[in-house]
Amino acid sequence: MNRQFNKNPEAFCPFCKSKIRKPAKTGLRPLSDFPSGNCDCGAVYVSDLTGKNGGEAMIEALATACDNDETRAFSLEEGPDYTMKVIGYDARTHSVTKRGHYKDGKARLYFVKLTAV
Ligand SMILES: [Zn+2]
C-alpha cells in the first residue's frame, strides 16, 4: 500500500531519527499547557498545536530539558549548551509535515537537546 494522500512520514526525532511517541500532557512538566514527550536519545519535545505560540513552546521545551529548572533554562545559550530543532507536525496523523511560513497556523514540534556535559 502506497497511498498518496498520507505520504507524510510518521513523526520522528530529528536528532536520532527514532520514531517518537505522541506528545502528551505528562509528568515531565506538570504545569505546562503544552503536550510534551521525550526521546530515548535525551531530546525532549513540546508541541505547539496552534503554531502561534512558538516562543512559549521553545521556553517550555528548554525548561523541560532542564528538569523544570527555569533559571538554568534561561542561562543556556543555543549552540554551546543546547540544540533546538523545529519540525512541522500534524497531530491528527502524528506525522511530519512540511513547515510553512512563520505563524501559518500549522502545528510544530520543538525539540531541544542539551549538549552533553
Ligand atoms: Zn532522539
Residue 6 alpha carbon to ligand 1 centre in Å: 23
In what order do the strands lie in the sheet containing 95-97? 36-38, 44-48, 108-114, 82-90, 95-97
Residue 32 alpha carbon to ligand 1 centre in Å: 22
pLDDT tens track for 24-55: 987 778 878 899 999 999 999 999 988 888 89
Q: pLDDT higher for 63 or 33?
A: 63
Residue 17 alpha carbon to ligand 1 centre in Å: 6
pLDDT of residue 75: 96
Residue 64 alpha carbon to ligand 1 centre in Å: 15
Residue 44 alpha carbon to ligand 1 centre in Å: 8
Inter-CA distances, 18 with 7, 29, 46, 49, 89, Å: 18, 22, 16, 21, 15
The predicted model gives 47-66 an average pLDDT of: 92
pLDDT of residue 62: 95
Residue 45 alpha carbon to ligand 1 centre in Å: 10
The set of cell numbers assigned to 104 is 501559518
Q: Taking every pair of C-alpha atoms in the chain, what is the biggest distance, in angstroms?
A: 49
DSSP state of 29: S
